[in-house]
Amino acid sequence: MPEKRIQIPAERVLFEVSKDGVAILDTTIGMKEVDGNMTAVCDMCSAAIGPMNNVQHIKSPEAISRAVKHGYMPEEMLRKSAEMLKSMGETNEAFISDIMDKTLESWIEMVDKSETPWALCENCHRAIQAYIKHKEVYK
């Protein structure tokens, strides 16, 4: 079967990691040509979600930002980050907690600056739906 090339929105984020957390230095937006049969990964948890030309759940950057403003947190990403620190020998729980707080702050900043659609796996799509649909109540 011949390779089918498709154009997808692409966002490159240049960031710096320090003891103070992650700082976004620059973001570049554009289009990227990829093999449509290439396996796509979830932009929340990095799980494989099937061929690039058949992604089932795509959300706008505005929808993701709204969900985050209404309390959504990327639990799987945070869990994997904490596990990575522990696998590297870190045992100080207070330090790990501090790094996780800074990681979440940086991730929220990245979400706020994002300008491209987000591809989601079934689990992340389900988890974020309630936050996307959340309506604020004004008194």
pLDDT tens string for the chain (139 positions)?
556 887 777 777 776 767 666 677 777 777 777 777 889 999 988 899 999 888 999 999 999 999 999 999 998 888 888 898 899 998 999 988 988 898 898 889 889 888 889 999 999 999 999 888 765 443 3
Question: Can you tell me which residue has the tokens 């936050």?
Answer: 131
| Three-class SS state of 56 | coil
Terminal-residue alpha carbon distance, the chain:
59
Q: Which of 121, 111, 5 is nearest to 63 (CA)?
A: 111
Separation of alpha carbons 59 and 38, rounded Å: 20
- What are the structural domain ranges in the chain? 40-133
pTM value surpassing 0.75 = no
Q: What does the block give as tokens for 44? A: 């929340």
